[in-house]
Structure formats: structure tokens, C-alpha cells
Amino acid sequence: MKPRESLVRLKRFQVDEKRRRVTQIEMMIAEFTRVASDLDREIASEENRAGITDQSHFAYPTYAKAAAQRRDNLRRSADELLEQLSEAKSDMDAAAADLTKAEQLEDREQVRFRPAEPSRDQALFEAKAFTASSTVSF
């Protein structure tokens, strides 16, 4: 295996790894958002059941307080993940650019080391020369 081929394989692996990381972060954000929405519904349900919506009220349901705190933590985590997502996307773009450069270098190397094929005109010339030399008798 040529050094350029292994470089291209490495760059492809890096791009795939960055892409997986971006996908993983996106899935985590979606999951946190879904769970936070579920908690919103549970909090509303608990408040309706107790008839108290004021969190500072002494009889506010304990479960609703705990669920609200968990929901807020999930939202903060999702916001932090959004920052990580933008960094991961820029890393993925940079890795994709590196891959493109490595592929272009490999393509140039393959063209440079490919045996030169005779041009169509050269092939016709050689065919005519062969035909002319085979018809000449001594």
C-alpha cells in the first residue's frame, strides 16, 4: 500500500469518526429535549392535581419541584451540547477538507505514475509505419 493510500484511509476514518460524533451529539440533544418536554407535561399534571402552581407555596408538590429541577438541568445540558455540536461540525468540516486534499494528492500521484498511453495519432502513425514496412520486399 502506498503512503498516500494509507493517508487517504486515515483521513476517511477521521471524517467518519467526526461524523459519528456529530450524530451522537445531535441524538443526545434530541433526547434531552424530548425528556424535558415529558417533564413539562408531568409538572403540569402534578400542579393540576395539587391545584397549586406557585413554586414558592409551602404545599407545592415535591415531585413537581424535583421534576422542574431535572428539566432545567436537561435544558442546560442541551445548551452546552449545542456549543459542542458547533465545534464538532467545524472539526468535521476541517477533516473533510483534509480528506479532499489527500484525495487530490493521491489522484495527482496516480496520474503522474500511470504509464503514458500513446495518443490516437501516435497509434495511427505506428500502424501505418508497420504496414508500410511489411509491404517492402528486399
Q: Which CA distances in Å does 30 have to 17, 27, 87, 130?
A: 20, 5, 18, 73
Residues 102-130 have pLDDT tens digits of 888 887 777 666 555 555 666 666 666 65
pLDDT in tens, the chain (138 residues): 566 788 889 999 999 999 999 999 999 999 999 999 999 999 999 999 999 999 999 999 999 999 999 999 999 999 999 999 999 999 999 999 999 998 888 877 776 665 555 556 666 666 666 565 555 454
Query: Can you give the pTM of this predicted structure?
Result: 0.71
Distance, in Å, from the CA atom of 74 to the CA atom of 42, rounded to the nearest integer, reads 15
